[in-house]
Amino acid sequence: MKKLLAVCLVLCCSLSAFAQNTGDLNVPAKPDRVISRHIYGHFAEHLGRSIYGGFYVGEGNTKIPNTNGVRNDVVEALKRLKIPNLRWPGGCFADTYHWKHGIGPKDQRPTIVNAWWGGVTEDNSFGTHDFLNMCELLGTEPYLAGNMATGTVQELADWVQYVNFAGKSPMSDLRRENGREKPWNVKYWGIGNEAWGCGGNMAPEYYANEYRKYATFLADWNNSGGLFRIASGANSEDYNWTEVLMKNIPKNLIEGVALHHYSVIDWSAKGPSTTFNEQQYFTTMKRALFMEELIQKHTAIMDKYDPENKVALVVDEWGGWYEVEPGTNPGFLYQQNTMRDAMIAGTTLNIFNNYSNRVKMANLAQSINVLQAVILTDEEKMILTPTFHVMEMYNVHQDATWLPLTIRSESYVVGNEKLPAVSGSASRDKNGATHISLTNIDAKQAQDISINIEGAKYKNVTGRVLTSKKLQDYNSFDKPNAIKPESFKGAKLKGNNLMVKLPPFSVVVLELK
């Protein structure tokens, strides 16, 4: 009897060391959904050291290599991510920004006080030409957030004409006077930002009416210019906001509805970025995984009013939000980026991929030196964060064909709460390779997963993994490569079965051929 108990104990211990998860990958003969590359978009707001000292160091800077003031190392890094779009100039800043102050000779531009973020005075040296020319350097599409709260319909309509009109007009003539002959042909336009909050504290009915007016004058009768107009959408689970917008805005005036959601522990006590405990990590991941329920419920509302799926859900602000680093300006939102952030990125991008029938665009907040940044800078130094590496690993999904991947996950348990430990998504690229991205959010336990494959035969599997010794690990300016992707050897193919051993708190991307 004692021997039997001992055997059972050993068996239980061995099972707990690698919990068993199962999954099914279906490879249909004619898959019909594409994961839009625009899901992998980024965000650059006039906030802290995002623009000045981040993207832009000035044309006269001889210490940091640059092209027209834009850091060369930043351009090369973001090219590695294949960023599809970049949102600018905000955020809350957008509704106090007047674009005409940022054009023309730089020494003649008026200054602006950034009342939202730190109360600093900016000289408008980085404006429309600087941003749009930078987007050309990056090979990315600009997403301009228009000022609805303190601007006018005429001001936003003039901006569209200034950047897009090729013929002769007052605004295109002004563009030429400022040194740009050809228009930039900007497609993506946000009409206000967080209208429920910093964008004017509006009621949804009021905003919907204002949006209709603005959208009317940005394009002609048939929107022949192909503008993609994005309404300021809901804050997390404000489902009524989406309901009112979808009900009250004619579908010929709208191409996208935004959604903002941050993985924040508590808005009044956000917690530290690097010295967090496991309970704080668990709460962060609970908020990150809540994105799936948000998308499901907002999509259900959109389906009711838009059964033809013409209007995109645009999650143009998402990411982790913590207290700022000690000793930094609280209005600059500068925070370090750990393996916790890698887990937020991996799980969130899996969700976006799996709901790409309605989610057509998203923007991580933010690109550089702000919130869940992919890049941090300190004068001439630059580091790539764990979030950068996840987005680089996942860019294989951009414009790839979505493949249904169903996962039955074991639980990650902390106290009396539990979350699914493993999540994933899959796609097939234009060359026929299949990619599977998997995350294990369990802070302590590795997870085995067995995936049954239907509809395809593969001969080999390779992969990369991002993990570290501690959840709190991060890349610093002293140790910039402490966390980086490594070759992954924990996946094996046997017939139509794929076995994967996922380390604790890890992100894995596999390629099957």
Give all strands (DSSP E) within 330-397, no chain letters: 359-364, 375-378, 381-384
Q: Which residues contact 462 (CB under 8 A, 6 or more apart)?
A: 487, 488, 510, 511
SS (H, E, C) 12-41: HHHHHHEEEEEEEEECCCCCCCECCHHHHE
Give the residues across from 112 on adjacent strands: 122
Q: Are 456 and 359 in contact (CB under 8 A)?
A: no
Structure tokens at 248: 């009250």
Q: Which residues contact 139 (CB under 8 A, 6 or more apart)?
A: 79
Indicate the residue type of 357.
N
Q: Are 404 and 453 in contact (CB under 8 A)?
A: no
Q: Are 83 and 127 in contact (CB under 8 A)?
A: no
- Residue 17, judged by CB atoms within 10 A of its CB (0-12, 13-18, 19+), counts as exposed
Query: Is 205 annotated in the active site?
Result: no
Selected catalytic residue, list 45, 255, 317, 392: 317
- DSSP, residue by residue, 117-131: TTTEEE---S-HHHH
Nearest to 331 by CA among 28, 119, 475, 181: 119
Query: Is 194 annotated in the active site?
Result: yes
Selected catalytic residue, list 194, 210, 255, 292: 194
> What single DSSP character describes residue 445?
-
Nearest to 24 by CA among 472, 456, 474: 456
Using DSSP's 3-state secondary structure scheme, residue 300 falls into helix
- DSSP, residue by residue, 53-72: TTTB--TT-SSS-EETTEEH
Q: Whole-angstrom Cα distance, residue 418 to residue 286?
A: 9
Residues annotated catalytic, as ranges: 194, 317
